[in-house]
Amino acid sequence: MKKEIKSSNFLKYQSKNFLKRYLINPLFYKIMQEMDLLKPKEIVDLACGEGFFEQYLIKNGQKLNLIGVDISFQAVAEAKNRNPQANFLVDDVLNLKLKEKFDLALMLELLEHLSQPEKAIASAKKIARRVIISVPWEPWFSWLSWLGGKHFKRFGKHPEHCQFFNKKKLQNLLDKHFPKVEIKSSGPWLIAVCQH
């Protein structure tokens, strides 16, 4: 029998660590609040992973027309299993085949994993008028990881992250692509609401 491999994303959201759960719930709530202000009709979640944010929205009574997209067949299968009432499909954010247009694109905890985050931003801009982005806020995110005993030899820096954002670096990146960018925070994460 083949052993099922769980992604670091899956393990993070399934963690029994009180601090992780304590920090993730306000992040999801803050993103949901920003969505409520924008009142989108059609939403795409780019790099949705195993559908944990969709599960949070559904549990909180959100009735949304939302499609989750991820490059991982395993993540999409898990997302469908977790949220049978939502739509998910396999696609590559850096080379989207999806042609539909959306009021809002979500890119939650994606850019820090990409060597070329501009390609993901360009993909989101092609299909949505507004984009909500969340990234770990450095150095706070790494410090909390380090204090929690994670990635100790790397001073808390997650081995899957190749981008490390503070407010200025995120603002500079997004200002190249959007005329209107508002950056907020939730614990050790930054949340950017972008419009064009």
- Return the CATH architecture of domain 8-195: 3-Layer(aba) Sandwich (3.40)
pLDDT in tens, 52-108: 999 999 999 887 789 999 999 999 999 999 999 899 999 999 999 998 999 999 999
Asked if residue 177 lies in contact with residue 125, where contact means CB atoms within 8 angstroms, the answer is yes
pLDDT for 2: 42
Question: Does position 20 have pLDDT exceeding 80, yes or no?
Answer: no
Structure tokens belonging to residue 69 = 């997209």
Structure tokens belonging to residue 104 = 């809002």
Q: Is the pTM of this model over 0.85?
A: yes
What percent of the chain has pLDDT above 70?
81
Asked if residue 189 lies in contact with residue 134, where contact means CB atoms within 8 angstroms, the answer is yes
Question: Does position 152 have pLDDT exceeding 60, yes or no?
Answer: no
Separation CA 97–CA 127 (nearest Å) = 11
For the chain, the domains span 8-195
pLDDT for 110: 96
Question: Does position 17 have pLDDT exceeding 60, yes or no?
Answer: no
What three-state secondary structure class fits 48? coil
Mean pLDDT over 168-174 rounds to: 98
Asked if residue 67 lies in contact with residue 96, where contact means CB atoms within 8 angstroms, the answer is no
Per-residue confidence at 7, pLDDT binned at 50, 70, 90?
A: low
Least confident of 9-13, 37-41, 72-76, 166-170: 9-13
CB atoms within 10 A of CB 67: 20
pLDDT for 155: 63
Question: Does position 139 have pLDDT exceeding 50, yes or no?
Answer: yes
List beta partners, residue 89.
69
Question: Does position 3 have pLDDT exceeding 60, yes or no?
Answer: no
Question: Does position 180 have pLDDT exceeding 50, yes or no?
Answer: yes
H or E element in which residue 130 lies: strand 128-136
Separation CA 145–CA 148 (nearest Å) = 5
